């Protein structure tokens, strides 16, 4: 493989985010895209019902144009031809990651680039401890934190609505959780030499999709910030079955409990990151980061109140939508992640535990009511 070959990107998880990425990669980057479906049945549905095309409507552009792309090379565990996977984008829900990778493990090795584009935290621990246990065969791992919004268009198979074009932050994810700090040199080495990093930062894709390739510590700042906001908001609004604005000005007590607990365990789990500001400020070759002024309870509570509840008052969080459609929820990778860290470090995380239990109960009630109604 040389860097000049046309890169092949396999995508496992052709849902909202996977489709969005597939369409824009084909529009704006030099590569081919191969979706990997969960089963032959799902692949055939894509081929027959959707004529192997995926479509994304850009709601924020004038006249909301629909961009369609044909993906002829789709595959499934039953039909996969056994080619080495060079670049793999994972856009399943967090809890689906392990199962979705299993059939393709023989084709993934240390020459594969694998990027996770998902919400929440904890998937990389699953990959380290349960999936890629053979250290020699571990792929180059990247994390994407996506702020674009995209949703399935009701009743239209493989057609999605892209609601908000924001950005995609990307960094190389270390296998060793202690190795958090990266220099600008290692960043530019990836952008020059790694096929996936080159593709994601190539023009015009990078500009059109607002890709920001950064050091892991820069990504973590954004990721942890977004994570705590989600930990405060998602489970609560889903349990209460409300739009964000309905609890504006009323929920800071809950937000405070959740953020305080979350920060307490995250500070231990990501210790080198929380010490970074002191150790690395003004060091050449390393970015300066304002960590303590962003990741503190007062600031986080203020931001959930203002950004989630006021600016996005009309929004309905994704977990509430998942429950509405009786789908599984990603709680184990949000508040559940904090609960796991609490157990690991013997620190109480009762607020997060309670919220996790409550939202699971909410899903249970919604499902049993729907089942009774259906009878």
Ligand X SMILES: *[C@@H]1O[C@H](CO)[C@@H](O)[C@H](O)[C@H]1NC(C)=O
- Interaction site with ligand X (CB under 6 A): 8, 34, 57, 59, 64, 73, 75, 81, 83, 110-111, 136, 153-154, 161
Subset of residues 94 to 133 that bind ligand NAP, contact rule: CB under 6 A: 94, 96, 99-100, 118-119
Q: Is residue 146 involved in binding ligand NAP (CB under 6 A)?
A: yes
Smallest gap from Cβ 372 to ligand X, in A, equals 27
Residue 93, contacted partner among ligand NAP, ligand X, none, CB below 5-8 A by kind = ligand NAP
Pick the binder of ligand NAP from 42, 212, 267, 353 (CB under 6 A): 42
**What 3-state DSSP class applies to 55?**
strand
Q: Is residue 34 involved in binding ligand NAP (CB under 6 A)?
A: no
Residue 14, contacted partner among ligand NAP, ligand X, none, CB below 5-8 A by kind = ligand NAP
Residue 37, contacted partner among ligand NAP, ligand X, none, CB below 5-8 A by kind = ligand NAP
Q: Could you tell me the two tokens for 39?
A: 């089963």
Residue 330, contacted partner among ligand NAP, ligand X, none, CB below 5-8 A by kind = ligand NAP
Euclidean distance between the first and final Cα of the chain, in Å? 57
Is the Cβ of residue 142 or residue 276 nearer to ligand NAP in the bound state? 142
Q: With CB under 6 A as the contact rule, which of the stretches 88-96, 167-175, 190-198, 232-240 interacts with ligand NAP?
A: 88-96
> Residue 11: what are its φ and ψ, rounded to 5°?
-120, 120
CA distances from 166 to 43, 68, 119, 159 (A): 30, 21, 15, 20
Pick the binder of ligand NAP from 13, 55, 74, 235 (CB under 6 A): 13
Smallest gap from Cβ 280 to ligand NAP, in A, equals 29
Neighbour tally for 30: CB within 10 Å: 11
Q: Is residue 335 involved in binding ligand NAP (CB under 6 A)?
A: no
CA 10 to chain centroid: 17
Subset of residues 251 to 290 that bind ligand NAP, contact rule: CB under 6 A: none
> Is the bond preceding 204 in cis, omega lying within 30 degrees of 0?
yes
CA 186 to chain centroid: 23
> Do 342 and 349 contact (CB within 8 A), yes or no?
yes
Task: Please give the Cα distance from 342 to 18 (Å, whole number).
Answer: 32
Neighbour tally for 54: CB within 10 Å: 26
Q: Which residues contact 103 (CB under 8 A, 6 or more apart)?
A: 77, 80
Smallest gap from Cβ 49 to ligand X, in A, equals 18
CA distances from 263 to 148, 238, 239, 298, 342 (A): 26, 22, 22, 12, 11
Is the Cβ of residue 72 or residue 350 nearer to ligand X in the bound state? 72
> Do 214 and 169 contact (CB within 8 A), yes or no?
yes
Task: Please give the Cα distance from 86 to 220 (Å, whole number).
Answer: 25
Q: Is residue 336 involved in binding ligand NAP (CB under 6 A)?
A: no
**Which residue has the closest beta carbon to ligand NAP?**
15
Smallest gap from Cβ 292 to ligand NAP, in A, equals 26
Is the Cβ of residue 13 or residue 55 nearer to ligand NAP in the bound state? 13
Residues assigned a catalytic role: 226
Site of interaction with ligand NAP (CB under 6 A): 12-18, 36-38, 42, 91-94, 96, 99-100, 118-119, 146, 149-151, 318, 330
């Amino acid at each position: 493989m040389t860097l000049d070959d046309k890169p092949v990107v396999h995508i496992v998880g052709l849902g909202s985010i996977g489709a969005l990425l597939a369409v824009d990669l084909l529009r704006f980057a030099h590569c081919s895209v191969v979706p990997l479906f969960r089963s032959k049945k799902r692949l055939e549905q894509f081929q027959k019902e959707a004529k192997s095309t995926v479509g994304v409507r850009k709601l924020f552009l004038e006249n909301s144009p629909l961009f369609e792309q044909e993906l002829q090379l789709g595959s499934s565990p039953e039909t996969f031809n056994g080619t080495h996977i060079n670049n793999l984008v994972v856009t399943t829900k967090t809890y689906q990651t392990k199962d979705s990778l299993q059939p393709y493990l023989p084709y993934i090795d240390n020459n594969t680039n694998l990027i996770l584009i998902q919400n929440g935290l904890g998937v990389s621990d699953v990959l380290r401890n349960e999936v890629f246990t053979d250290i020699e065969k571990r792929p180059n791992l990247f994390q994407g934190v996506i702020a674009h919004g995209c949703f399935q268009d009701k009743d239209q198979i493989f057609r999605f609505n892209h609601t908000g074009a924001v950005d995609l932050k990307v960094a190389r994810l270390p296998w060793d959780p202690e190795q958090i700090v990266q220099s600008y040199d290692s960043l530019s080495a990836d952008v020059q030499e790694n096929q996936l990093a080159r593709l994601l930062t190539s023009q015009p894709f990078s500009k059109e999709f607002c890709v920001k390739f950064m050091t892991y510590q820069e990504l973590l700042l954004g990721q942890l910030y977004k994570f705590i906001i989600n930990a405060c908001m998602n489970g609560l609004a889903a349990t209460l079955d409300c739009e964000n604005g309905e609890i504006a000005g009323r929920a800071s007590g809950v937000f405070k409990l959740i953020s305080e607990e979350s920060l307490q365990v995250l500070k231990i789990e990501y210790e080198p990151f929380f010490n970074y500001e002191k150790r690395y400020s003004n060091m050449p070759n390393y970015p300066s980061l304002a960590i303590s002024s962003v990741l503190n309870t007062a600031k986080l509570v203020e931001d959930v109140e203002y950004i989630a509840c006021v600016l996005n008052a009309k929004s309905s969080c994704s977990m509430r939508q998942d429950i509405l459609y009786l789908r599984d929820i990603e709680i184990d990778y949000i508040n559940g992640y904090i609960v796991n860290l609490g157990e690991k470090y013997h620190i109480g995380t009762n607020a997060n535990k309670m919220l996790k239990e409550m939202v699971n109960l909410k899903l249970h009630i919604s499902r049993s009511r729907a089942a009774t109604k259906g009878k």
